[in-house]
Amino acid sequence: MPSRSKPELPAVALNPRQELLLTTLRRAGAELSSQELHRRLSDGQRGIGLATVYRQLRWLQQRGLVRSRLLPGGETVYAPLEHDAHHLTCVLCGSSVALSQCPMHDHPLPAETAGGFRALFHTLEYYGHCAACQQPTDATRTPGSAG
Ligand SMILES: [Zn+2]
Ligand SMILES: [Zn+2]
């Protein structure tokens, strides 16, 4: 769409550690916690402490290269910025399914609303009842058993 311009970020020079972190995240194909990332790095390369991993992740995030989100359990997971995935989480059975595409992809934050704010990434989660949990099960269902 010609009317929408991509947010331009200045090119960032990465040091070898930052390159390694970013490459590892990209190869993972899934979101990783800082602990998991640290564990993967320790397999091949020594000398990168967890605190360093965390600090470098934060640095990469501040420059718009890495995104993070907080899981319901309280853990923060990281992914490359281009990993724009969202989930449908069932509050009854706890299943969590990734959406095939980002519903906000074609709805960038309007400039008049943002007031000069430059968004790097967003998080978006849907909570509800999955299809399976909406199926009435004839006899076994015990509605209103709570009391
Ligand atoms: Zn469910
Ligand atoms: Zn999205």
pLDDT in tens, 67-124: 999 887 889 999 999 999 999 999 999 998 999 999 988 888 888 888 999 889 999 9
Where in the chain do CATH 3.30.1490.190 domains reside? Answer: 84-138
CA distance 23 to 97: 25
Structure tokens of 16? 């070898």
CA distance 1 to 5: 8
65 C-alpha to center of ligand 2: Å?
15
Q: What is the pLDDT of residue 140?
A: 56
104 C-alpha to center of ligand 2: Å?
5
16 C-alpha to center of ligand 2: Å?
29
Q: Does domain 84-138 have CATH number 3.40.640.10?
A: no
Sign of CA dihedral 26, 126, 58, 39: negative
Where in the chain do CATH 1.10.10.10 domains reside? Answer: 13-82
Ligand closest to 133 (CA) is 1
Ligand closest to 129 (CA) is 1
Q: What is the pLDDT of residue 107?
A: 86
pTM strictly above 0.85: no
Helix/strand/coil (H, E, C) string of the chain? CCCCCCCCCCCCCCCHHHHHHHHHHHHHCCCEEHHHHHHHHHHHCCCCCHHHHHHHHHHHHHCCCEEEEECCCCCEEEEECCCCCCEEEECCCCCEEECCCCCCCCCCCCHHHHCCCCCCCCCCEEEECCHHHHCCCCCCCCCCCCC
Structure tokens of 52? 């360093």
82 C-alpha to center of ligand 1: Å?
29
Ligand closest to 82 (CA) is 2
* pLDDT above 70 (res 138): no
* pLDDT above 90 (res 1): no
Single-letter amino acid code for the residue at 25:
L
The model's pLDDT over 32-54, given as tens digits with 9 standing for 90+, comes to 999 999 999 887 656 789 999 99
105 C-alpha to center of ligand 2: Å?
6
96 C-alpha to center of ligand 1: Å?
9
Ligand closest to 79 (CA) is 2
Q: Does domain 13-82 have CATH number 3.40.50.970?
A: no
